[in-house]
Amino acid sequence: MSDDALTILTAYHEAGHAVIALQQGRSVREVSILPGGKRLGYCEMAKGGRPMKDALEADLLILLAGLAAEAKVSGRYGLDGAAQDLRMAEKLALHRAGNARQAERLLERALDKAEHLMRDAATWSAIDLIAAELLKAGVLSGRAARHFHEQAVARSQK
């Protein structure tokens, strides 16, 4: 895979995390596709946000959103690039489910739900906008990410 293609997939991966986090009531602090350490990018959450009905489910959706967004663009799951997200999601699912088989089913349902959320036009438009801005600037503030998300939602309501 070329460096340009990897950068594009990373932008969609991180934009997926950011948009689903915002939809789940989480505050995003910063989103970046500037490589550092072992990461190609990151979506950093801020403290706070609105109270959630099921915080663990929200965490699973956010963790799996990067993988789902990347797959929507590339047509395949980038398991290597999402390895850290998957490890964290597996740990959460095992905590909730209690055994490996139930945890696997929980992860499958959460990934299906993340993919379902991305089929919404406003959601995907927000991911597109944020990915495009990440490709231009490399880093976005949480405020900018929220602005692009709100812009996409407003456009879809017209």
The CA dihedral of 43, 45, 51, 52, to the nearest 10 degrees, is 30
Show the tokens assigned to 129. 């906008």
**pLDDT tens-digit map of 96-152:** 888 999 999 999 999 999 999 999 999 999 999 999 999 999 999 999 999 999 999
Specify the CATH superfamily of domain 3-156. Answer: Peptidase M41 (1.20.58.760)
Domain limits, the chain: 3-156
pLDDT band at residue 48 using 50, 70 and 90 as cut-offs: low
Determine the pLDDT at residue 37: 76
pLDDT of residue 2 exceeding 90, the answer is: no
Mean pLDDT for the stretch of residues 73-79: 92
CB-based burial of residue 13 (10 Å sphere; 0-12 exposed, 13-18 middle, 19+ buried)? Answer: buried
With tokens 């967004």, the residue in question is: 69
pTM: 0.93
- What does the mean pLDDT of the chain come to? 92
Mean pLDDT for the stretch of residues 58-75: 96
